[in-house]
Structure 1
Amino acid sequence: MNQRPILQVAQDGETDIVVRRDFSHPPERVWQVMTDPALIPHWMASAETMSRCEIDLRPGGSFYYEWKGTQASPGFHFSGPILAVQAPHHMQHVEFFNGDTASGTTITTDLEARGQGTRMVMVMRYASAEARAAAIEIGMTDGFDAVYDRLEALLPTA
């Protein structure tokens, strides 16, 4: 019987959130689904549908992800520079919420082969302890289980 992969989300130090999850396919496949703008909207979803997904996946490149709002909730977007790329194992970028460049979050994602699968470790480093606390309060870490379950579901078809 297959067990659902365990998602670990933990606070580390004053400013970091560390996310760990295993996937059933090799890093090359996980990387493809994580970085292909045609696939990202299928797994990186929220209550709103992603309406724009652009990524120039190279150091010095950038990304822009946008979700259109509804009458019940406003739209939002994340954007920022790509700092480092070592496909298919490492990426680092800065994430600005709704264009607010005053307090970007540095996201480092590492994919490591584990048998036939992959261990993902993502470190979200906030500008301050207060910024991390605010992100947690507004739900930035909610829903990771569902998001990564959708990513896992795309792996066999990618």
Structure 2
Amino acid sequence: MHPHSDTLTTSDGRTALRMERRLAHPPEKVWSALTDPAQLGRWFPSAVTVELRPGGAMTFTMPGVPGAEGVMTGTVTDADEPRLFAFTWGEDHLRWEITPDGEGSLLILTHTFGDRFGGASFASGWHVCLTTLSGLLDGGPTAMDRDMGELHEAYVEQFDLGRGVAEETPGGPGVRFERQLIRPAEAVWAELTAGETPSVGAPAPEGFTAPEVPGGPVTEVRAPEVLAYRWHPEGIVRWELRRGTGHGARLVLTQTGPAGFDTDRALTLWHDRIERLAARLLAD
């Protein structure tokens, strides 16, 4: 579905997404598509204004987002025609490198950002944009085909973004998962509750449990954002649905347990549970 040349690496709290595309057009033509606001507006995810020089100001206006919320700013960091165009976009940095490749070009995008778990959202979004850019250069239609989730989930798998971690917490040994989902919190909550209305003190609905993790009494509930329950006298499971990137909610799931809690086993059980949830959301 997507090239294996797309990679995601994390170092010192920053993550770099690198995507390569071969384009059947010379660097000068690709440069124009990357830097001319009239062409950018046909494939880039926002409308752009740019002062095309190092230090030049940029603005990014998101379609359909009203007022100041839909406007972000950036600064050109590199503008070396027709080889390198790079700029900041809020706290992110985008670097576009163009090199001759036979009669065409090799385009390398490096997107550097802080939210590693948004990597699949960014990759699937850029995949669609770069496919549209290629179509624009070829003179074909430029209507964007929005990813309905399949591409996102393929990148989650490729970049191994569904893996949890073991951690020591004030409440004892635990595990933590952070997983971007492809549906909004309300849809995820409906899938997890299956028509039940959770309440404090009542058993947690089955959707919030995993094999070997019984649904004990709910200790906190705030639909459609938070549900926590006591699965063991010394252990809590907590589901939290936060604002995410791209498609939907960001799931943060934690489980704590008593001394000797088998975190390796918990990592396996919850990974399987979360991936089954993701597959159900994709099917829906």
Structure 2 length as normaliser, TM-score?
A: 0.43
Structure 1 or 2, whichever has the larger Rg, is: 2
Query: What is the aligned counterpart of 2:74 among 75, 80, 84?
Result: 80
Is contact 2:31–2:82 with CA below 8 Å preserved after alignment? Answer: yes
Q: Give unmatched runs, 5+ long, in structure 1.
A: 97-103
Mapping of residues 47-126 of structure 1, within 5 Å: 50=46, 52-69=47-64, 76-96=70-90, 104-126=91-113
In structure 1, how many angstroms separate the alpha carbons of the residues matched to 2:119 and 2:10? 15
Contact 2:8 2:119 in 1 (8 A): no
Contact 1:26 1:113 in 2 (8 A): yes
Q: Indicate whether 1:154 and 2:154 are aligned.
A: no
Instruction: Note closer, same or farther for the CA distance 1:55–1:70 as it changes in structure 2 (3 Å cut).
Output: closer
After superposition, what is the alpha-carbon deviation per residue over 1:115-145, rounded to whole angstroms, capped at 9, x for unaligned? 011111122222xxxx2314326x2222323
Deviations 1:11-40 (A, max 9, x none): 124221111111110111011011100111
Shift in Å at residue 105 of structure 1?
A: 1.6
Matched residues, percent identical?
20
* CA spacing shift, 1:10–1:68, aligned 2, 3 Å: same
Assess if the C-alpha contact under 8 Å between 1:92 and 1:108 holds in 2. Answer: yes
Give the total of aligned pairs: 134
Alignment-mate amino acid for residue 135 of structure 1:
G
1:12 aligns with 9
In the alignment, is the contact (CA less than 8 A) between 1:44 and 1:147 conserved in 2?
yes
Q: List per-residue Cα deviations over 1:42-98 (Å, max 9, x = no partner).
A: 1114xxxx4x42111111102112123269xxx6344201011101111221111xx
Partner of 2:122: 140
Give the Å deviation of 1:155: 1.6
Whole-Å separation in 2 of the counterparts to 1:81 and 1:56: 9
Partner amino acid, structure 2, of 1:121: I
User: Distance between the aligned counterparts of 2:4 and 2:38, measured in 1?
Assistant: 25
* Matched-pair contact (CA < 8 Å) for 1:7–1:21: no
Q: Which has the higher contact order (CA 8 A, sep 6+)?
A: 1
Greater helix share, structure number: 2
Q: Tell me the SS of whatever aligns to 2:6.
A: strand
The answer to whether the aligner puts 1:42 opposite 2:48 as a matched pair is no
Instruction: Name the CA distance, whole Å, in 2 between partners of 1:7 and 1:44.
Output: 22
For the 8 Å contact 1:61–1:81, the answer to whether it is kept is yes
TM-score (normalizing by structure 1): 0.73
